[in-house]
Structure 1
């Protein structure tokens, strides 16, 4: 019989209440992102433009119906998917290790043993319906049951490509001790799903968490009929989870737009800091001809979101940034809430990330750009800023792991 090793995530978790534990902008107490009615949230910057359902219908749906909007070809799939490998136990964590599981989902193995999962969605469709809506054009690299340990699950916002009810329920069943961290207003959704181990947070709030591992069991199979040998490996893991701003919106129905808060996040553990951009825009760009550069002289001074420089100045630098690079065409319609690669590189610079990986592409067709355009433009954007095209802000195959 072949030998095997598994690690059981059986522990007690102690959390501080959400509060401000790090530096914040001077105007943060004004909470300008809270609607004055007390019901919902907004982006309080000149870089934001609000579009209604009719604007979106005209910009995307009607153009597609009339043939004025090209739709990317996904046959055959042009994004490589490989089977991921995960570390066998917590004691194997010597560096920061990041594995892309498609779209915005990353699995992070921190030095010291903490395991964090960001925006997991394992369904075929990112939709309220299992039979309609955007369908995967790349396969899932693994199943939820293949992920050995999950301590922290971060949810950036309520859109279906970032928050999936079936995924959340399966994760909770497989990893019942995992702590969910969400933006304001989303705790109710989790509680209604029967999940109590969830903390909701506002921008610039922090939580310190200590995971006291009671039985990290190391099982060594043998050829006898006796049960596997078990040796306890008790240890404490500490983390700081920080809820930070981004420029986006939220909704799960036509009637709850912006009712819950959208966020970026920082998770710090084992001497490493990861910033997760989730889903965000950077600047609102007007409709311009296809051959016009909206970062050219005429448009280079358009307002951009100031929150990212605040994040970099006050909470950076970060060892790794997970930064969205896709879902941006038509540009004028998507730019307030979705960064294109040129925006992404500016976000990378503003947030003071030492390295970054591109997310929010390669899984579902959500907008009109070609499937492989985001990584091509990312290299061009890095070169335009005088930064290396490789090795600093990269993309990888779905299922691939990188160390930092």
Structure 2
């Protein structure tokens, strides 16, 4: 489906405003003191469930596994994950369901019943790397181009790693959809300004803003987005509203070897309703990229959820998210890039972790992300959905229709 950038540029004016009152948040010392802020102006995970794996330790551990023969090289020979050509709603149709389309890895395009259109972690490049000639290369084709998407009102970024944040992708979105607003974790706005993208709001954990779209006729010239501290847009039949919340997760962020923790990482929630209707708002939780618990090297080759490792601390942020901001109609939760576990577990969830996050956050339904696109770790490319079913069975959750995976390019209605 071709996109008319000139027409979509005139469809609305956007306003960002601080809510009259911020949503509930944990009343604990970690949150009150913002313990994830360090004295040197960087960020760190504040929980016992985190284990700070330096880049050198990660690379050293992976190289060691290659030499001792314990490493697995995933087979990406087709067929792997089916790729479909996606279809998108041609207008801002209003119905009673969320429509979510997986565009590979952590990238999801969500069409809210209110008419809001949100793109999460867009990376449309062949490689997720600072280089065009080396680094992880797609083993499944991208299902579409940015030009095929009819509307993008907001882009939500989880963190600065190359498989979640792409210079060329965000620049193209900004060019084709000049009213599109970018929501990023704290510290990333400077990077967007350097990319000549000014319509960007950065938030800290537990902060949130109201995002209002006032739809206009294509002939209107008043389409410039506004940033304000007070919401001046009055809800009406041609208004779309959303509450966008920056939430914790357990990860790390960097673009190079020496900027580790210079910017924040986060999960997000987006809740959107239609003023003047009886339809309740719909909410999406976006997990982005996160770990749940750190397991030791002694667990290598074992079930690290067995009784032997049941004492290991879990990240408390997800239960807090569920308690203070949940429940959510849909969760987009990472399920891949987790092997070897003793190296990856602090920052990447395996499917058992993912189901625990699903339960903690209070998601009613979920779709798996962060798999099926690039080989980033050692697990076989089709292992995540298989282990997801086992993890659901462990909790007596149906293996279909609750927490699912889908084809790349496929849309699910929730």
Please report the TM-score for the alignment, with normalisation by the length of structure 2.
Answer: 0.90
Shift of 1:381: 0.1
Residue of structure 2 in register with 1:115 after alignment: 117
- Would the aligned equivalents of 2:336 and 2:370 in 1 still touch at CA under 8 Å? yes
- Would the aligned equivalents of 1:8 and 1:215 in 2 still touch at CA under 8 Å? no
Supply the distance in 1 between the matched residues of 2:20 and 2:27 (Cα, whole angstroms): 16
- Which of 327, 337, 340 pairs up with 1:330? 340
Map residues 69-218 of structure 1 onto 2, 5 A cutoff: 69-215=71-217
Shift of 1:51: 1.1
Instruction: Classify 1:168/1:18 alpha carbon distance in 2 versus 1 (closer, same or farther; 3 Å).
Output: farther
Cα deviation, 1:74-123, whole Å, max 9, x if unaligned, reads 01241100000000100254421000000000000001200000000000
- Which of 379, 383, 393 pairs up with 2:389? 379
Shift of 1:149: 0.1
- Would the aligned equivalents of 1:348 and 1:356 in 2 still touch at CA under 8 Å? yes
1:265 aligns with 2:275: no
- Would the aligned equivalents of 1:9 and 1:149 in 2 still touch at CA under 8 Å? no
Where structure 2 has 5 or more consecutive residues not aligned to the other structure, the ranges are 220-235, 274-280
- Would the aligned equivalents of 1:214 and 1:234 in 2 still touch at CA under 8 Å? no
- Would the aligned equivalents of 1:20 and 1:206 in 2 still touch at CA under 8 Å? no
- Would the aligned equivalents of 1:19 and 1:206 in 2 still touch at CA under 8 Å? no
Partner SS state of residue 129, structure 2: coil
* RMSD value, Cα: 1.8
1:51 aligns with 2:61: no
Cα deviation, 1:6-64, whole Å, max 9, x if unaligned, reads 97252211111489610000122210000022x11000000000011221122213423
Map residues 258-337 of structure 1 onto 2, 5 A cutoff: 258-270=261-273, 271-288=281-298, 290-337=300-347
Equivalent residues, number: 385
Supply the distance in 2 between the matched residues of 1:60 and 1:290 (Cα, whole angstroms): 13
- Which of 43, 60, 76 pairs up with 2:62? 60
- Would the aligned equivalents of 1:77 and 1:138 in 2 still touch at CA under 8 Å? no
Supply the distance in 1 between the matched residues of 2:19 and 2:181 (Cα, whole angstroms): 14
- Would the aligned equivalents of 2:8 and 2:177 in 1 still touch at CA under 8 Å? no
Instruction: Classify 1:20/1:254 alpha carbon distance in 2 versus 1 (closer, same or farther; 3 Å).
Output: farther
Supply the distance in 2 between the matched residues of 1:17 and 1:313 (Cα, whole angstroms): 22
- Would the aligned equivalents of 2:300 and 2:341 in 1 still touch at CA under 8 Å? no
Supply the distance in 1 between the matched residues of 2:265 and 2:193 (Cα, whole angstroms): 18
Cα deviation, 1:277-315, whole Å, max 9, x if unaligned, reads 000000000123555211111101210000000000110
Instruction: Classify 1:368/1:394 alpha carbon distance in 2 versus 1 (closer, same or farther; 3 Å).
Output: same
- Would the aligned equivalents of 1:20 and 1:204 in 2 still touch at CA under 8 Å? no
Residue of structure 1 in register with 2:407 after alignment: 397
Instruction: Classify 1:250/1:124 alpha carbon distance in 2 versus 1 (closer, same or farther; 3 Å).
Output: same
Supply the distance in 2 between the matched residues of 1:21 and 1:133 (Cα, whole angstroms): 41
Partner SS state of residue 319, structure 1: strand
Residue of structure 1 in register with 2:15 after alignment: 14
- Would the aligned equivalents of 1:203 and 1:245 in 2 still touch at CA under 8 Å? yes
Supply the distance in 2 between the matched residues of 1:126 and 1:189 (Cα, whole angstroms): 17
Where structure 1 has 5 or more consecutive residues not aligned to the other structure, the ranges are 218-232
Supply the distance in 2 between the matched residues of 1:278 and 1:207 (Cα, whole angstroms): 19
Supply the distance in 1 between the matched residues of 2:375 and 2:23 (Cα, whole angstroms): 38
Cα deviation, 1:298-344, whole Å, max 9, x if unaligned, reads 10121000000000011000000000000000100000000000000
Partner SS state of residue 80, structure 1: coil
1:368 aligns with 2:378: yes
Cα deviation, 1:346-374, whole Å, max 9, x if unaligned, reads 00000000000000000000000000000
Moved more, 177-186 or 288-297: 288-297
Cα deviation, 1:221-278, whole Å, max 9, x if unaligned, reads xxxxxxxxxxxx9811100000000000000011100100000000000210000000
Map residues 341-352 of structure 1 onto 2, 5 A cutoff: 341-352=351-362
Instruction: Classify 1:71/1:243 alpha carbon distance in 2 versus 1 (closer, same or farther; 3 Å).
Output: same
Moved more, 5-14 or 108-117: 5-14
Please report the TM-score for the alignment, with normalisation by the length of structure 1.
Answer: 0.92
- Would the aligned equivalents of 1:73 and 1:371 in 2 still touch at CA under 8 Å? yes
Instruction: Classify 1:286/1:5 alpha carbon distance in 2 versus 1 (closer, same or farther; 3 Å).
Output: closer
Instruction: Classify 1:235/1:355 alpha carbon distance in 2 versus 1 (closer, same or farther; 3 Å).
Output: same
